[in-house]
Every structure is written in structure tokens, then in C-alpha cells.
């Protein structure tokens, strides 16, 4: 099998060209075996080098088009984003999907009055929030900024859009401790799943700060093993990695407070939900597996192709002794057709839900979420399903274990 292609799309900062004043080519060289995608957000007068900054929404549209074009041409590739400064805001505004990891270098969190003051005090510059601003750059080049840019920038709430971005991609922020451009900001409202790395550096990670940046990027951007999703599941789209503890916590949130489940584990002698569900999952040794979240864009098409959890109850009551059956076959059985909870789910399905499964022998086999998956597999296709359905997956290479049916001390 050929190695997975690793593509990195670069999003440059305010008023510079696609190379981010030489930073991005150095990153490309350091990362080695990647396919880079670099492009310009700004209008460039090649005669005198003047840059005209496009409004942020237009920049986000350019990035979105680059991402979608790249994905369409490379459907099996691992795609990351590396964004510098304002390019971080552009990435968050673009609301990308199908991106494995997004790395923000010195991202802004406020309006950045320090940068405006720097430009305002530079001879030849003119700040005009109602017209066209003329900014003289440190190297003598000119950047023109329309009023529309400033108005859009003022309305953006960076922490909110970074938090939203973190729901779609693994998000890493690299802050510069000696940033001379951006002000310090309270980051307590950032989503805790966002990883923050701090380096001693100026805003552009120049001079002695460049090597630590490159070393850090090499460590965090190396692609981990990506699951080989069987081709029959056409709409599964990679979102991000997830730890087993977070998967188990999602199970807990969905079940632990329900009286029916409490009765279930108590009848089997368990003292708590955690003890019961821990015993259920134990044959898979899930804490040793590498878990990844995928979004199922076409749940009504793909969920019927999933296979049922290999649990003692389903094997005895539905599978007629087989270890598993496809959901497409399971929903034709009397047990599922008459199942009260499954029929209730068809009438009131959650807006968001995460199933859990393993990739084994060319199939995706559920280990949790049978009632919800059965509801989707038996869904009336004339009725729209607007739920956001994801699945946490890990690869399983051993013999398929039988799970569930546990009784404590038995």
C-alpha cells in the first residue's frame, strides 16, 4: 500500500504574500515529504509591489475554494492547515471540514490596536477607517486596506470562531511569548480541547526563534496512522483523533443518568455505570487503540452498511448465532421492527450523536450505539434526517471478541 499523501495548506497573514516573508518555504523544507499549497489572498501590483488587502470574508472564500479543490483532487490524502497571524482568523471564518489538524501560529485574539499604532506612527502611513488606509511596511512596501476590511475585522470574535473551528479539526495554537504585534489576551474561554504551545519568539518567529518553531512543527504535524475506511462507506469524513477516555465519557453522558440502564447494571451485580460499561468494553482493550472521529455525511446511506455489535444479547436474540449481521439485515427482524426504544428514536432522534465502532476485516462493526444505528438503518427515506452523526473508530486486527452480557463475579 502506498503511503498516504500528506498535504499542508498554508494561510498567510496580513498584507504579505503567500510565502509569509519566507517563513512558509522554510516550514515546507523542514516538514520534508509533504505536498504544500501556497496562494495569495491579496491583490498584488507586480509593477510596484503594492498589496491591496481583500476583506476577510473574501479571503475566507479563497481559502475554502483552495481546500475543496485540494480535497476533490486528493480524496485519500491527509490534509492539514498551517496559518500565521491573521491567516488564523481566515481559517476559522472559512469553517473548513475534512482537515485533520490546524496549526495557528501567533493568532490574533483581539482587534490589535498595537499594530494599528505601529503603522500610524510610521512616516508615510495613513489610517482611514472610513476610506482606504495606506500602510508603509518595515521593508518600504505599501499595503492598501479598504474600509470594508476594518469593519469586518471589528465585528469578529476570535475566541468564538477558534472554538467553533476546534469542533471540526484538531486545533493547535503556537503562541509567541515576546510577540511585539499582538497584545496579551485572557484565553480562559478557549475550548479546553485546543492545545496551546508557547515558544520564546517574536510575532514572525525570526532569527533564533525559527528553529524551535520548525522543530515543533515537525513533531506535531507528522501524520499518525490513518484508518483505511472500507470503500463501501462512501460518506465517512475524517474529523480528528480522540482519546478513549473521551469516547467513554460520551457513553457515560448518554447512559449513566437513565433509570433503565441503572436497573440493568444493578441487576447484573455492578456497583456503578462505570464498572458495568468498563467490563463491557474490556475484551477490546480500548485504551490501547488509536481512536479517530469520522463524520457520516450520508447516515441513511452508510449506517445500514454497518455491522451490529457482537454482544451476547444481540447474538442470542437477533443474529441467530452469528457474531454479527449488517444493520440492513438487522432492521428486518421482528425484534427490531417491534422494539419500542428504536421506534421512539425514529420519531425523536437526537440532533447530534456519536456512535462507536471498529474497522475489522473490511467492515465497520459497532460496539456502541445499536439502538440509534438501528433507527437510522430503518429510517423512512422520505423523511429527512437532519442529525449530525459521527462515529469514533479504531482498527481491530485480532479475532472479533464477543462483548457484553457481563455479570459481576461470574
Residues 32-47: pLDDT tens digits?
889 999 999 999 988 8
Rg for the chain, CA atoms, rounded? 25
**pLDDT bracket for residue 129 (50, 70, 90):** confident
> How far is residue 258 from each of residues 251, 273, 352, measured CA to CA in Å?
12, 10, 18
**pLDDT bracket for residue 2 (50, 70, 90):** very low
> How far is residue 151 from each of residues 85, 156, 374, measured CA to CA in Å?
18, 9, 49
Query: What pairs with residue 22 in β-bridges?
Result: none
Sheet holding 133-136, edge to edge: 43-44, 51-52, 142-145, 133-136
Tens digits of per-residue pLDDT, 195-207? 999 999 999 999 9
Query: Do the beta carbons of residue 149 and residue 55 sit within 8 Å?
Result: yes
pLDDT at residue number 91:
97
Short-list 232, 349, 364, CA closest to 292: 364
pLDDT at residue number 214:
95
Q: Hey, where are the domains in the chain?
A: 6-45+53-109+156-221, 236-395
151 Cβ neighbours under 8 A, 6+ residues apart: 129
> How far is residue 46 from each of residues 50, 51, 76, 114, 215, measured CA to CA in Å?
7, 9, 37, 29, 34
Residue scoring higher pLDDT (114 or 350) = 350
- Rounded Cα distance between 312 and 61, Å, is 51
**pLDDT bracket for residue 4 (50, 70, 90):** low
CATH of span 6-45+53-109+156-221: 3.40.50.1820
Look over the chain and give the mean of its residue pLDDT values, rounded to a whole number: 90
Q: What is the torsional sign of CA 253, 257, 261, 262?
A: positive
Question: Cell numbers at residue 146, please?
Answer: 479598504
Amino acid at each position: 500500500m502506498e503511503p498516504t499523501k500528506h498535504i499542508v495548506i498554508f494561510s498567510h497573514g496580513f498584507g504579505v504574500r503567500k510565502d509569509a516573508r519566507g517563513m512558509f518555504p522554510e516550514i515546507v523544507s523542514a516538514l520534508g515529504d509533504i505536498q504544500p499549497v501556497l496562494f495569495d489572498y491579496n491583490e498584488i501590483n507586480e509593477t510596484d509591489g503594492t498589496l491591496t488587502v481583500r476583506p476577510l470574508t473574501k479571503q475566507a472564500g479563497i481559502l475554502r475554494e483552495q481546500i475543496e479543490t485540494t480535497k476533490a483532487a486528493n480524496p485519500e490524502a491527509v490534509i492539514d492547515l498551517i496559518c500565521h497571524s491573521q491567516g488564523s482568523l481566515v481559517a476559522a471564518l472559512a469553517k473548513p471540514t475534512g482537515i485533520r489538524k490546524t496549526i495557528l501560529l501567533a493568532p490574533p485574539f483581539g482587534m490589535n490596536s498595537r499594530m494599528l499604532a505601529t503603522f500610524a506612527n510610521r512616516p508615510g502611513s495613513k489610517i482611514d477607517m472610513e476610506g482606504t488606509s495606506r500602510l508603509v511596511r518595515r521593508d518600504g512596501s505599501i499595503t492598501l486596506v479598504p474600509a470594508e476590511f476594518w469593519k469586518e475585522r471589528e465585528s469578529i470574535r476570535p475566541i468564538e470562531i477558534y472554538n467553533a473551528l476546534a469542533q471540526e479539526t484538531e486545533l493547535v495554537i503556537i503562541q509567541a511569548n515576546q510577540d511585539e504585534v499582538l497584545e496579551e489576551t485572557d484565553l480562559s474561554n478557549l475550548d479546553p480541547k485546543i492545545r496551546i504551545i508557547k515558544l520564546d519568539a517574536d510575532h514572525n518567529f525570526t532569527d533564533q526563534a525559527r528553529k524551535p518553531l520548525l522543530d515543533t512543527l515537525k513533531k506535531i504535524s507528522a501524520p499518525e496512522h490513518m484508518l483505511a475506511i472500507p470503500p463501501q462507506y462512501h460518506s465517512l469524513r475524517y474529523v480528528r483523533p480522540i482519546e478513549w477516555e473521551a469516547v467513554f465519557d460520551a457513553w457515560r453522558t448518554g447512559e449513566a443518568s437513565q433509570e433503565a440502564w441503572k436497573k440493568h447494571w444493578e441487576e447484573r451485580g455492578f456497583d456503578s455505570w462505570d464498572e458495568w460499561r468498563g467490563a463491557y468494553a474490556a475484551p477490546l482493550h480500548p485504551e490501547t487503540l488509536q481512536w479517530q472521529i469520522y463524520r457520516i455525511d450520508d447516515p441513511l446511506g452508510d449506517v445500514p452498511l454497518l455491522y451490529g455489535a457482537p454482544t451476547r444479547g444481540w447474538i442470542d436474540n437477533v443474529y441467530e448465532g452469528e457474531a454479527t449481521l449488517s444493520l440492513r439485515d438487522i432492521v428486518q427482524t421482528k425484534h427490531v421492527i417491534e422494539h419500542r426504544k428504536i421506534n421512539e428514536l425514529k420519531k425523536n432522534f437526537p440532533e447530534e450523536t456519536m456512535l462507536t465502532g471498529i474497522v475489522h476485516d473490511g467492515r465497520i462493526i459497532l460496539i456502541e450505539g445499536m439502538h440509534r444505528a438501528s433507527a437510522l438503518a430503518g429510517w423512512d427515506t422520505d423523511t429527512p434526517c437532519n442529525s449530525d452523526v459521527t462515529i469514533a473508530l479504531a482498527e481491530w486486527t485480532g479475532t472479533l471478541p464477543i462483548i457484553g452480557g457481563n455479570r459481576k463475579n461470574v
